[in-house]
Amino acid sequence: MGTRRVLVTGCSSGIGLAVAARLAKDELKRFKVIATMRDLGKRMALEKAAGDSLNTNLEIKQLDACCEASIRECVNSLPDRRVDILVSNAGVGMIGPLECQSIGAMKELFDTNFFGMARLVKEVLPDMKRRQSGHIVVMSSVMGIQGLLFNDVYSASKFAVEGFCESLAVQAMKFNIKTTLVEPGPVVTEFERKVYEDAEKMDLSETDEETAKIFREVYLPYSKKIFTSLGQTPEDVAEQTVNVITAEEPPLRHQTNRLYMPMTALKHADPTGRLPLDAFYKMIFKHDAVFSATLGLLRMVQRRVGKR
Ligand SMILES: NC(=O)c1ccc[n+]([C@@H]2O[C@H](COP(=O)([O-])OP(=O)(O)OC[C@H]3O[C@@H](n4cnc5c(N)ncnc54)[C@H](OP(=O)(O)O)[C@@H]3O)[C@@H](O)[C@H]2O)c1
């Protein structure tokens, strides 16, 4: 197989940046990377990470996932408009009590996380069909499998992404196009920093005192513990994304964090949904000590695995 052209979105930081840099530095030189970002003023971190591969195996272009014209312009600028692999990664987060979030803000989040991905797929799919080849890789989340309190809207956007890809995958198969949902658990990136920064500043006056207290005193510390205990690096997620891209038979779904898998497994273990509901409720509201001890244990396992 010759060099494959990969278009990655959201490469100014985090997972997108790590995926683009990792693909561009591939020892076997299997990829030409079109690393895109909405604001080219933020290109420095990627340029640094790309090193010698910049302008050889990696080219930086502007693309705003919320703007059809910018997506078209980017794809039109490529020879034969050819995109062999699309990595739709651009995404934003949102946490907090529902009463404190405006419908406008929810629509904006969907515009990036769901419609951004749908616009990209619409743009590249017809060409992939004509060529009878291609791979659509979408950065989803474990929250596209299992919802989490105070992540209602973010989780809904990832469920939408999952439903879209799962439906499309069958039609795509008929045209020899592969579809993969990469599902990271917590990853330590700008995403986490931005979400917590917004949470600290959030006006909680629209919700009742008990909910505000649960959000501030239970959820936020709980969530931070999860990130420090189970959080992966963007480079780790990038490595696994490359494995998925180069697999002979790429899976429809790939969860990147083994330590998070017991939480998502609950969903499949009980079709009534009671098991995950009870487990999350008890974990968060009843057994804080057990929860903390479990995270401590997982942290140890993580370190041991990391050393190997
Ligand atoms: N971090 C996690 O814990 C985690 C877990 C599971 C899944 N994910 C998913 O992984 C993906 C990447 O997130 P990350 O953790 O790497 O966060 P990040 O460091 O904040 O990166 C997000 C990227 O998306 C870009 N972006 C946002 N809106 C865009 C738009 N309209 N058009 C083009 N680019 C846009 C951002 O650009 P700007 O710099 O211009 O804002 C940034 O480059 C997201 O889809 C996220 O939902 C993250």
Q: Residue 96: what pLDDT?
A: 95
Binding-site sequence positions for substrate:
141
Distance 91 CA to ligand 1 centre (A): 4
Q: Residue 162: what pLDDT?
A: 98
Residue carrying the six token digits 């973010």:
154
CB-ligand 1 contact for 120 (6 Å cutoff): no
Task: Name the pairing type of β-strands 31-37 and 85-88.
Answer: unpaired
Tens of pLDDT, residues 187-242:
999 888 888 888 888 999 999 999 999 999 999 988 888 888 889 999 999 999 99
Q: pLDDT class for 285, splitting at 50, 70, 90?
A: confident
% of the chain exceeding 70 in pLDDT: 93
Q: pLDDT class for 30, splitting at 50, 70, 90?
A: very high
pTM of the model: 0.94
| pLDDT at 291 > cutoff 70 | no
Ligand 1: residue of 9, 11, 12, 260 to mutate (most ligand atoms within 8 A of CB) is 12
Q: Which atom of ligand 1 is nearest to the CA of 65?
A: 32
Q: Check if 154 is active-site.
A: yes
For the residues 72-78, what does the mean pLDDT come to? 98
CB-ligand 1 contact for 275 (6 Å cutoff): no
Ligand 1: residue of 13, 108, 183 to mutate (most ligand atoms within 8 A of CB) is 13
Tens of pLDDT, residues 131-180:
999 999 999 999 999 999 999 999 999 999 999 999 999 999 999 999 99
For the residues 72-89, what does the mean pLDDT come to? 98
Alpha carbons 233 and 74: distance in angstroms, whole number: 29
Q: Atom 25 of ligand 1 has which residue's CA nearest to it?
A: 10
Distance 185 CA to ligand 1 centre (A): 14
Residue 183, φ and ψ in degrees, nearest 5: -120, 85
Q: Residue 295: what pLDDT?
A: 66
As a three-state string, the secondary structure of 144-198 is HCCCCCCCHHHHHHHHHHHHHHHHHHHHHHHCCEEEEEEECCCECCHHHHHHHHH
Higher pLDDT, 201 or 307: 201
Q: pLDDT class for 128, splitting at 50, 70, 90?
A: very high
Higher pLDDT, 153 or 297: 153
| pLDDT at 263 > cutoff 90 | no
CB-ligand 1 contact for 12 (6 Å cutoff): yes
The one catalytic residue in 154, 219, 222, 260 is: 154
Q: pLDDT class for 288, splitting at 50, 70, 90?
A: low
Q: Residue 268: what pLDDT?
A: 87
For the residues 283-301, what does the mean pLDDT come to? 69
For the residues 255-282, what does the mean pLDDT come to? 89
CB-ligand 1 contact for 231 (6 Å cutoff): no
Q: What contacts 24+ positions apart, CB below 8 Å, involve 169-174?
A: 169/252, 172/125, 172/128, 172/134, 172/136
Higher pLDDT, 61 or 277: 61
CB-ligand 1 contact for 110 (6 Å cutoff): no
| pLDDT at 307 > cutoff 50 | no
Ranges 20-29, 67-76, 198-207: which has the least confidence: 198-207
Ranges 2-11, 57-66, 112-121, 297-306: which has the least confidence: 297-306
Q: Residue 306: what pLDDT?
A: 56
Q: What is the mean pLDDT of the chain?
A: 93
For the chain, the structural domain boundaries read 4-307
CATH number at 4-307: 3.40.50.720
Q: Which atom of ligand 1 is nearest to the CA of 93?
A: 47
| pLDDT at 3 > cutoff 60 | yes
